[in-house]
Chain A
């Protein structure tokens, strides 16, 4: 055998892949204890908890993309979204719950980008779980200080003349960016338009795909 450290090797001689090998943190142990007690006392069931996790995992940026595609094609909906985004999106079946939603529109002159400097507030009902970078201290602290450099690292370089507006999601509101509709998409169906809308374009760290991308 070429290796000496047998406890780090599987029976076939390969190193074990790193896993959750560290001991539980205080909060992890507390969560497990509370969860097990709630199940033991019949307050909830393991199936209900698994179902809730499943429902959270099933929310994807496709929800947000449907909102954007409708805003691009239906002027009445676009106006309703500007007026009260929580209500407009709830009518599409995307209820945001106790939170409130604001939709901010990108134009040729204005680019919006969303961050939560205090934690990781994110419109989960429309975009699913936030990506790890959205919760990182680097993204949270740099986006309010040097948004253009942050955008450049995402591959987005905007003209100096384009105004950048950073939305710090500090309290009860959640934000979705309505990117500018790509040129060359006249007459496209909502479904095809939605395929151009990326998660990052609704956070403001990206732009929609080019129409050529779908050909």
Chain B
């Protein structure tokens, strides 16, 4: 069965920090949203939780590119995560969840599981 999803407004363009990340709270928990104005697309979203420490910190990492791929480095133990796929460059077995993110006018929309609809269906 295909998971039901929904798009929610999580913040506005003014909340974003160019070349860096911010954290938002969603029904799936904390998500990190990155704004890399020199790329296309310019928005990326991955889980805010650092899989190596368990702490919610990935939005506070340094962004950049390695081999042309957009990345963020965990501020705690410095592992790199691909912002498009969530793959950890240092450990193939580790991957963080990625989310679809869109710019609609001034609003930033994020796609998460539709927990409300899932609850109704159950």
Is chain B a partner of chain A in the same complex?
no
List the interface of chain B (C-beta within 8 A of A).
none
